[in-house]
Structure 1
Amino acid sequence: MYLAIREMRFAKVRYSLIAIIMLLVAFLVLFVTGLARGLAYDNAASIQNMDATHFIMEKDSNHRFTRSQLSGQVLVQAGSIAGQQNVQPLGVKMTTMTAEGTAGKLDVTLLGIRPEGWLMPKVTEGSAITSNGTGQVLVDRKLKDSGVGLGTVLVDQASGLKWTVSGFVSDESFSHSPAVFLNEHDWRQLQLATMARPGTGGSGDEKTYSAIAVKADKHQAEQLVSALPDSEIVTKSDAVSAIPGYKEEQGSLWMMIIFLFIISSFVLAVFFYVITIQKSSQFGILKAIGTRTAYLVRSVTLQVLLLSAGSLIVSMLLVQAIEAVLPGGMPFQLQPSTLAYTSGAFIAMSLAGSLLSVWKVTKIDALDAIGRSAA
């Protein structure tokens, strides 16, 4: 440790340059990771917030809520297996709305739920909706930026139905659009209004819900698969992944993160390898006077660890400062668990990048290095 720190103090400029490079790479890794997690949550917050293990959807719907339609009979069958208290109907419909008296259009996702059930989100402002009332909805707080407030009347452009905002919820969205929650009665009215439109081909009452949220263990899930051959039982993670654009968006961002890890590893490997070559004679002299190879290897490894850890600490502070000034509408989320494994991966890749230098140190011959130094 003494040798590692003393050498870093002696060659301040050299090690400061690599520290700056590692700082920038670490900052990019953390920022892109926070952006990836924020976008993932914003894309599927309402589904991820639901206390469900599985969702029942229509067969051949490709695990997509917006393509699925289920009858009330499926709800009854699912309740007989998992327990009536463990199943909840769910309606999902993406639409465009306007606030009455304004011309601006709002892209939202309507979610039909039972207000007394466990799919009901926590109300942060205003009053909750009930099963007995009609024409009342809960909306995500992001709609406040569009001028929506308590008592605002929202008009669905597709059906012409109107609902009054009774309260707000937080962090509720689907496919990057704010969520609007309505009760079963209003959801059914929406379904009937949609079926009544010319060209929709709908005229019956047999299909009502988009999906059924279920709390089930592995055995109950297998029973549901056997009992509902015309439906598919989808895990929450699969349902989230099937949201349009989710996998593609996350795949692109995580590919960037992986390449940043690889780049940081290569930069560190090249830097320390060049330094090791330049110090071959010094390492040889140290070996000749009895310094063990293991001690020199620990010195190089410690330098890498100090640089990567120091860069990470400063980059964390920078990310927190940037996060504090980001616009409220920008999805950014960097939880402690995500920060921990991202930092661990960065340090691991940095240490992996030092392996080439470590190998070079072990191969240095004391006599050859002294001979080159004398020449």
Structure 2
Amino acid sequence: MNIAWKEMKKNKMRFTILGSIVFLVSLLTFIISGLANGLSQDNAALIKDLPNGLFLMTKDAAETYNLSRIDKSTQDKMLEKQKDATAFSIQMGFLNDRAGKQRSVAFVTSTDSKYFQHVQKGEVVLDRSMEDEGIKIGDTLTNNQHSGKFIVKGFVDQSKYSHAPVAYISNEDYKEIYRVNEMQLIFVPGGDSTQVSAGLQSFSKKEFLNTISSYKAEQMSLNMIVWFLVVISGMLFAIFFYMMNVQKMGLYGILKAIGVKTSALFKMMWTQMVFITVIALGLSVLLSQGFNMIAPKGMPFSLTSETTVQLSIVFLIIGFIGATLSGIQIKKVEPLQAIQQGEV
């Protein structure tokens, strides 16, 4: 332990450079992870905020909910069998405000359920982001495919789909706009796939989210960047400690010759790795959480404490692995041979 501290004091610049790189890489990882989580909420908060359960659509829809049409008899059987189940539909569209400005929304309608907003014919409940854009309760909105008008009855938090605010409307209004009589999906909270009716295909919440092409592509790209940065941090540790170990072969030979065990040398290296990583992660966590609090309201950024802790643990594990792999050469050091080579 004392040897580890003495070496770090002697080579402050080397360890400061490594710590700075780890800090920058981890900070970038936290920021991108926050963006991934934020975009995930902005893209599918409507689905993500539902409890775990089954999402059912017709098999011939080929895992594309837009093509799913569940006939009334099948729907009634499922809703009767599963008391908490609800049938719902989602479709992208737009609403016009009084000034004639078109606002993109995701129309949602459902059977009576505590998981979705219930509205009467001619009413609409909007995501709160529409309130920030100047829409108020009591305002009248229109749609070109609808003969009547929509009166804004209220707002709900965190209700978005495909990066558009959700607009909850009645079944009658939805049928008039899209000229359909069937619902697209059935949600069964905590459902059992063995009770699914013939002709329907079931998906867990995670599986259903991955059927949404925009969500899957977006999250896959961002998560790939996050893990790529994590791997880079591990390689940095491996390369740094490898170069340090090459330069210290003579020192290791002397230490082994006077009776210092290989395990003690590994502990010295692990101590240095943990010290650097903890300081770098601590600074990056503080900055990323600070950014999480001051990020602009319209920016899709969400970095939870759970995600931060998970990534921090991953960084520590990757750093440990990288440092350990670089230290394999320590185990092979022969005291006499290393001393003869001399310390570079």
Structure 1 counterpart of 2:99, one-letter code: T
Equivalent positions of 1:332-351 (< 5 A) are 332-351=301-320
Residue among 108, 111, 127 paired with 2:108 = 111
Partner of 2:131: 144
Q: Please give the secondary structure, in 1, of the residue aligned with 2:229.
A: helix
Corresponding residue for residue 302 of structure 1: 271
Q: Kindly provide the CA deviation profile for residues 83-115 of structure 1, in whole angstroms up to 9, marking residues without a partner as x.
A: xx221121211101121x22322111011134x
SS at match of 2:61: coil
Hey, what's the Cα distance between the residues in 2 that align with 1:171 and 1:285?
63
Match of 2:46 in 1: 46
CA distance, structure 2, for counterparts of residue 305 and residue 341 of structure 1: 16
> Partner of 1:28 in structure 2?
28
Structure 2's unaligned 5+ residue stretches are: none
Aligned AA for 2:310?
Y
For 2:213, what is the secondary structure of its paired residue? coil
> Is the 2:248–2:343 contact (alpha carbons within 8 Å) kept by the matching residues of 1?
no
Query: Match for 1:215: what amino acid?
Result: P
Q: Deviations over 1:20-78 (max 9, x none)?
A: 00000011111111111221222111112223511221232233333222233222110
Would you say 1:283 and 2:252 are equivalent positions?
yes
Number of aligned pairs? 344
Compare 53-62 and 289-298 and name the one that shifted more. Answer: 53-62
Which amino acid in the other structure matches residue 119 of structure 1? Y
Quote the residue 2:116 is aligned against: 120
Aligned to 2:167: 180
Residue type of the alignment partner of 2:140: V
Partner of residue 58, structure 1: 58
Checking the alignment, whether the CA contact within 8 Å between 1:97 and 1:155 is kept in structure 2 is yes
Alignment partners' CA distance in 2, 1:51 and 1:188: 27
Distance of 2:318 and 2:36 partners within structure 1: 20
1:223 aligns with 2:195: yes
Is it true that 1:363 corresponds to 2:344 in the alignment? no
* 1:211 paired residue among 156, 177, 185: 185
CA contact (8 A) 1:63 1:234 kept: no
CA pair 357-189 structure 1, distance change in 2 beyond 3 A: closer
By how many angstroms is 1:216 displaced? 4.5
Corresponding residue of 1:87: 85
2:190 matches 1:190: no
Find the counterpart in structure 2 of residue 102 from structure 1. Answer: 99
Name which of 136, 155, 171 aligns with 1:168: 155
Q: CA deviation at 1:171?
A: 0.6
Between 11-20 and 351-360, report the one with greater CA deviation.
Answer: 351-360
SS at match of 2:124: strand
Structure 1: stretches of 5+ with no match in the other structure: 122-128, 196-201
1:243 matched residue in structure 2: 212
How far off its partner does 1:275 sit? 0.9
Change (3 A) 1:247 1:194: closer
Q: Distance in 2 between matches of 1:277 and 1:216?
A: 57
Contact 2:250/2:343 (<8 A) preserved: no
1:244–1:357 CA distance, 2 compared to 1 (3 A): closer
Deviation of 1:193 (Å): 4.2
Q: Which residue of 2 aligns with 1:13?
A: 13
One-letter amino acid of the structure 2 residue matched with residue 341 of structure 1: Q
Q: Which amino acid aligns with 1:108?
A: V
Alpha-carbon distance between aligned partners in 2 of 1:181 and 1:148, rounded to the nearest angstrom? 15
State the Cα distance separating 1:170 from its structure 2 match.
Answer: 0.6
Instruction: Give CA deviations for 1:1-37 in whole Å, capped at 9, x if unaligned.
Output: 2221221122111110110000000111111111112
Deviations 1:280-313 (A, max 9, x none): 1111111111111111111011111111121111
Residues of 1 paired with 2:343 and 2:269: CA distance? 25
Q: CA separation of 1:91/1:286 partners in 2, compared to 1, >3 Å: closer, same or farther? A: same
For residues 137-183 of structure 1, give each alpha carbon's deviation from its aligned partner in whole angstroms, at most 9, with x where no partner exists.
2111111232212112221233354211111111111111111112x
Q: Which amino acid aligns with 2:182?
A: T
The amino acid that maps onto 2:115 is L
Q: Secondary structure at the match of 1:150?
A: coil
| CA distance in structure 2 between the aligned counterparts of 1:189 and 1:356, rounded to whole angstroms | 64
- Distance change in 2, residues 1:117/1:217 (3 Å): closer
Question: 1: CA distance between counterparts of 2:10 and 2:236?
Answer: 22
What's the secondary structure of 1:60's corresponding residue? Answer: helix
d(CA) in 1 for partners of 2:52, 2:8: 54
Q: Shift of residue 212 of structure 1?
A: 1.6
Q: CA deviation at 1:359?
A: 0.7
CA gap of 1:120–1:366, structure 2 versus 1, over 3 A, is same
2:71 is aligned to 71
Range that drifts further, 313-322 or 61-70? 61-70
Question: Which whole-Å CA distance do the structure 2 matches of 1:338 and 1:222 have between them?
Answer: 34
